[in-house]
Amino acid sequence: MKTIKGPAIFLAQFAGDTEPFNTLPGIARWAADLGYTGVQIPAWDGRLFDLDTASTSKIYCDEVKGILKDAGVEVTELATHLQGQLVATHPAYDLMYDGFAPASVHGNPAARQAWAVEQMLKAAKASENLGLTAHATFSGALAWPYLYPWPQRPAGLIETAFDELAKRWKPILDAFDASGVDVCYEIHPGEDLHDGVTYEMFLERVGNHPRANLLYDPSHFVLQQLDYLDYIDIYHDRIRMFHVKDAEFNPSGRQGVYSSYQPWVNRAGRFRSLGDGQVDFASIFSKLAQYDFAGWAVLEWECCLKHPEQGAAEGAPFIHDHIIRVTEKAFDDFAGAGTDLSTNRRILGLA
């Protein structure tokens, strides 16, 4: 068995324009001082990382690793959630999603989608140059507006959407395969891959591609009321990344899963800082250890109540205390009889 690595922290929600959060050396030292040993880098944030340069320069990637080593951490993975979202976007979201891309492609969905694909291809090479084996992203969504429709969906609409989604992602998956890196889709509301069934629909269409894998984040399953422990039993062979994020679901007679268009603080389903929600992390860490998950336990902070710096400070010891140092021996080895095949046959009456 393998021991999970960590604690690590996803830097996306902490990057900012003030020190120490506006440079990679500064934010890396901040994370290390809190007890983190790894950082997951958002590849869209130019204050911390230059994806274009990383995709072509091993020297630059070595410099990034050197900066992190000097601070006392290492890079766990790169993330392209924003770029991945733009690989497949329904027109209803065009105006809102323009903010994820450079101004040169605003108002031009085709150019924006081409830019997103190019970004993903660069992310494959950058991950390879950094010596990484997994990458975090979103699938994007063509069918999401029709999740719970009225009037009813036309026959074949969802199938057509997933056919197109697979068509767009297959060349990207092939590029990541050539770089030796797993694409780990964060299963997430707002994405066409938002639960187990939709992931299977996609996986079938990309020919069970060996690089089409999963980022496991139980918080999104709490909000969907999906069994997040059974999910590990079903998909453990595909889970390559782990976001440690808490959540709670408190339905009432007035609202439930859909949360009534309310802001986060007033929703029945809310993300919380580690230990403040309802996720059974002891069981999650046990199951991941049982199934030999060898990746990182990465804090993702998205709490509607607690300050991010308090959440980050509390997150490192929380993860550290949940990581199971796996055993190399059975607890009852002391009672072993030291038998061999001949003795075993005699015990069974087969001698």
| pLDDT tens for the chain, residues 1 to 351 | 889 999 999 999 999 999 999 999 999 999 999 999 999 999 999 999 999 999 999 999 999 999 999 999 999 999 999 999 999 999 999 999 999 999 999 999 999 999 999 999 999 999 999 999 999 999 999 999 999 999 999 999 999 999 999 999 999 999 999 999 999 999 999 999 999 999 999 999 999 999 999 999 999 999 999 999 999 999 999 999 999 999 999 999 999 999 999 999 999 999 999 999 999 999 999 999 999 999 999 999 999 999 999 999 999 999 999 999 998 887 777 777 777 898 889 889 997
Estimate the crossing angle of helix 196-205 against helix 157-179, to 10 degrees.
70
Instruction: Tell me the two tokens of residue 49.
Output: 């990382």
- What is the structure's pLDDT at 192? 98
Distance spanning both ends of the chain, measured CA to CA:
35
- What is the structure's pLDDT at 327? 84
Look at residues 187, 173, 175, 179 and name the one whose alpha carbon lies nearest to residue 215. 187
Look at residues 189, 282, 180, 194 and name the one whose alpha carbon lies nearest to residue 240. 180
Beta strands 182-186 and 74-80 are unpaired
Q: Are 240 and 134 in contact (CB under 8 A)?
A: yes
Rg of the chain, C-alpha, whole Å: 22
Using the structure block, give the residue that is written with the tokens 């509301």: 189
Number of domains in the chain: 1
Residue 216, helix vs strand vs coil = strand
Look at residues 6, 172, 190, 181 and name the one whose alpha carbon lies nearest to residue 78. 181
Name beta bridge partners: 299: 9, 244
Question: What range defines the domain where residue 76 resides?
Answer: 5-347
41/71 Cα distance (integer angstroms): 15
- What is the structure's pLDDT at 335? 72
Residue 47, helix vs strand vs coil = coil
- Indicate the length of the chain as a whole number: 351
- What is the structure's pLDDT at 329? 80
- What is the structure's pLDDT at 22? 98
Domain with 110 in it: what CATH number?
Answer: 3.20.20.150
**Residue 90 burial (10 A CB sphere; 0-12, 13-18, 19+):** middle
159/181 Cα distance (integer angstroms): 28
The amino acid occupying position 254 is: R
124/132 Cα distance (integer angstroms): 10
Q: Give Cα 107 to chain centroid, integer Å.
A: 29
85 phi-psi bin (left φ>0, alpha ψ -120 to 50, beta other): alpha
DSSP string, 291-318: TT--SEEEE----SSS-HHHHHHHHHHH
Name beta bridge partners: 296: 5
Instruction: Tell me the two tokens of residue 249.
Output: 């679901």
H/E run at residue 78 = strand 74-80
- What is the structure's pLDDT at 332? 74
Residue 98, helix vs strand vs coil = helix
- What is the structure's pLDDT at 254? 98
The answer to whether the Cα torsion of 231, 279, 41, 33 is positive or negative is: negative
What DSSP state is assigned to residue 87? Answer: T
Name beta bridge partners: 247: 271
Look at residues 292, 288, 296 and name the one whose alpha carbon lies nearest to residue 75. 296
Say if residue 20 is preceded by a cis peptide, omega within 30 of 0.
yes
- What is the structure's pLDDT at 1? 80
Q: Are 137 and 81 in contact (CB under 8 A)?
A: yes
73/84 Cα distance (integer angstroms): 26
